[in-house]
Structure 1
């Protein structure tokens, strides 16, 4: 009986030893491919959106092992923020899905205050010093109006990387895009016409944080737009930045799933996000 126990124990130990290299090897593989950071990445949805708009991206990021942690920052109609879920101490690449309960608010200044409330809540709860941001559609205006009011505030977590996805910086088609927006300067990004909200963002040309790496992603159905936002409006983002960011790059997507409402459910977008935010 004793001999059988010894043999069984030896087999268990041997099995554990055999499995250890596989586990550690997988962890090492992840470390070799992706940055391991405690900096959270915030996801902002667009007009009429919710965390459902962000879930495909978050699920895809977690599926490849970049992160194991995702929480929701729920913002009430009055701007009060409730965090749903917990970010463990030293969690690797935590993800924060921002949800505006009033998801049809077009007061961008107010949206910017809501974005600040989310960032302050995270900072007070978890003491983050840095953040990354991805925003889809009108969520980009919440982010830009947040930066307009807070770009010089060093007490807030400092933005490191920003991804704009289908950003209607100079308006959306059939709504507030200038009727005479016909071109964007290829070098500066200056649009031939500007709507009111875009003009209010012009001070960012002198205050946008210099440490940020920026990626501007937009879809083209072959008509110079993604069905809701023209490529001209998205490309006008460059002019607001005025060569201040540490880096700026544009990616024009074609093919399937590049319609405005499908950009955040596009496998290619997921790959772009993973490489930009966490790739080595």
Structure 2
């Protein structure tokens, strides 16, 4: 009898302990979800020309390790422009990351690629409840993002851009194609002396960019070898986004990376870039 009573007492204590644990969990869980919901601003990563997931993997891995971001969704846009979503994301996802991959990764019609991004953003709003987003773009991904904002920036039914990170953007030409090293410069107005068709087109649509809404961080490289380029993009071209969006952005900061680590492709493999970018996205 004493043994049975002791056994029952132990079971009762275990039961009470479980109930107490569940009560504490249920009380604290909404607080955690609420805290996570305040960080439910997905960050979209866009790769450059001829690239894919690997070109943004290191940046995402750094964000996971050092800023506790969550790799939530992979969106693969097929050659017909149809996005396919993989992974899970909801308002409890802490600092969610959405990695975008274009199968047609050499398409330079930015009205087309921005249309693909528009479809992604539409589905993020409809299926994942996204109302705000951040964006990180490298190389040609910057042109997709810029054209998206110029073509659709006034649509308040879409998720609204919060913070924008530009890395090695070729807004006013690519070295050796529509630009040559040391052949362009900024005039007193801040406008490049020579502008490409794409740049001129962007200037015409600049007022579609949301007014005083977006904070911009712009990284550009200089190999310090006399060319004033990152090997692909001149410093003038990479910095020329400031003139396009003058008076429109909420804040603008540019960061120069010099030497080997300032090379075009090394900019998305650079821990210094990753650290500054993470602080900008999540600590400010």
Q: Same fold (TM over 0.5)?
A: yes
Per-residue deviation at 1:84? 1.0
Specify the alignment match of 2:121 in structure 1.
Answer: 119
Specify the alignment match of 2:277 in structure 1.
Answer: 273
Specify the alignment match of 2:173 in structure 1.
Answer: 171
Question: Where does structure 1 lack aligned partners over 5 or more consecutive residues?
Answer: 14-23
User: Counterparts of 1:151 and 1:178 in 2: how far apart (Å)?
Assistant: 31
Q: Give every structure 1 segment of 4 or more consecutive aligned residues whose post-TM-superposition deviation is greater than 3 Å.
A: 178-181
Query: Higher mean Cα deviation, 84-93 or 34-43?
Result: 34-43
User: Counterparts of 1:74 and 1:80 in 2: how far apart (Å)?
Assistant: 8
Per-residue deviation at 1:204? 3.5
Aligned pair partner of 1:87 in 70, 86, 89: 89
Per-residue deviation at 1:108? 1.2
Query: Higher mean Cα deviation, 54-63 or 121-130?
Result: 121-130
Secondary structure, in 3 states, of the residue corresponding to 1:172? Answer: coil
Specify the alignment match of 1:199 in structure 2.
Answer: 200
- When normalised by structure 2's length, the TM-score is 0.83
Per-residue deviation at 1:115? 1.2
Question: Where does structure 2 lack aligned partners over 5 or more consecutive residues?
Answer: 18-27
Specify the alignment match of 2:262 in structure 1.
Answer: 258
Q: 2:60–2:71: 8 Å Cα contact kept in structure 1?
A: no
Q: How many residues align?
A: 260
Secondary structure, in 3 states, of the residue corresponding to 2:70? Answer: coil
Map 1:239-254 onto structure 2 (within 5 A): 239-254=243-258
Aligned pair partner of 1:231 in 230, 235, 241: 235
User: Counterparts of 2:37 and 2:255 in 1: how far apart (Å)?
Assistant: 22
User: Counterparts of 1:212 and 1:35 in 2: how far apart (Å)?
Assistant: 20
Aligned pair partner of 2:136 in 134, 140, 152: 134
Q: 2:63–2:278: 8 Å Cα contact kept in structure 1?
A: yes
Per-residue deviation at 1:181? 4.5
